[in-house]
Amino acid sequence: MSLERPALIAGRDCAYRMTTPRSRGLARGAPAAFVLLWSTGFVGAKYGLPYADPFTFLAIRLAVASALLMLLAAALRSPVPASRAQYGHAAVVGTLLHGGYLAGVFWALSRGVPAGVSAVVVSLQPVLTAVLARRLLGEHLAPRQWGGLALGLGGVALVLAPGLAAAASAPGSLPAAGLVACLVALASATGGTLYQKRHGDQMPMLSGTAVQYAAAAALLLVAATATEPMHVQWTREFVVALAWLVLPLSLGAVLLLFLLLRRGTAAGVSSLLYLVPPAVAVEAFLLFGERLRVVQMLGVAVVAVAVALVVAPVRRPTG
């Protein structure tokens, strides 16, 4: 979507042309805000999972987020999905992008898969999305952009190399079931991104996202009922983790993701996910004192260049 085309903005769901200096500034800042918020998800998982089973934790998170968005949409008199088909599209995106993706990642982490390993698997999403978007959405990338996708994957590997080496040297640290869960998360995130790009442009952002969360919460509640004791320890750490995952992530980051998808290509937006592992490494260094090695800093620089190659506009010959 070009910047001249009206885009539905969270909060008003009204046509808003991004042509003023202020709106263009907000548009330029949206990718950085998305990456920063999305990367902090590991903090919530790190602090919340010891106090609740993964599916139970996610079902609570998404149910609360859905209720808050419904209240916000009602307060702002935001439009609701116009047809059963739109409700269906929202439910599919919610099941994939929120239910399948989050369930796979959280379940893998709860079973002992290191965060670095799961990040490497999920970091395949930009390449997988680009390949499928070419076939399903008719999106075409220039050779420079394909090179950026490959370079980004290499940069992510550099950032995560120390953690991967430590995981590989520890016997039994990579449970097969956990790795399968990571692959489920990868497939779900890719499918949800493509489906949202294809069917989500006309969906009211607030109420549509609320429907997505409700559908995902229902799926996760069924999974929790079938596989977990559904025990939750309502400690201060759990409540803080839950609040963080609901407000900045489920409301802030996901709405930014949908806004970016309305303005750009699925492959270009997905390439921003390459920046998440480097951001997590820097946050872990600042918050938890984890060592940031030279190879990781090199990886951060490589990823930044790679994303710039993918998202920079392609100048096509005219005439």
The pLDDT tens digits of the residues spanning 266-307 come to 667 767 777 777 777 777 677 766 666 777 678 777 777 777
Rounded average pLDDT over 183-190: 89
CA dihedral 20→25→29→30, nearest 10 degrees, is 0
Per-position DSSP letters for 44-55, written without gaps between them: HHHHHGGGB-HH
pLDDT category, 168, cuts 50, 70, 90? Answer: low
Written as six digits, the tokens of 189 are 């995130």
Integer Cα distance of 139 and 187 in angstroms: 19
Written as six digits, the tokens of 270 are 């997905």
Going from the C-alpha of 312 to that of each of 11, 28, 30, 142, the distances in angstroms are 28, 12, 15, 11
219-254 per-position pLDDT tens digit:
999 999 999 999 999 999 999 999 999 998 888 888
Q: What are phi and psi of 278, to 5 degrees?
A: -60, -40
64-105 per-position pLDDT tens digit:
999 999 999 999 898 888 889 999 999 999 999 889 998 998
Query: If you average pLDDT over each of 149-158, 202-211, 232-241, 288-297, which comes out highest?
Result: 232-241
Higher pLDDT, 17 or 114: 114
Q: CA angle, corner 173, sides to 184 and 58, nearest 5?
A: 40
Higher pLDDT, 76 or 200: 76
CB 310 within 8 A of CB 191: no
The pLDDT assigned to 40 comes to 81
Number of Cβ atoms within 10 Å of the Cβ of 29: 11
Q: Between β-strands 15-16 and 7-8, what pairing exists: parallel, antiparallel or unpaired?
A: antiparallel
Higher pLDDT, 167 or 100: 100
**What's the predicted TM-score (pTM) here?**
0.73
E strand or H helix at 266: helix 266-271
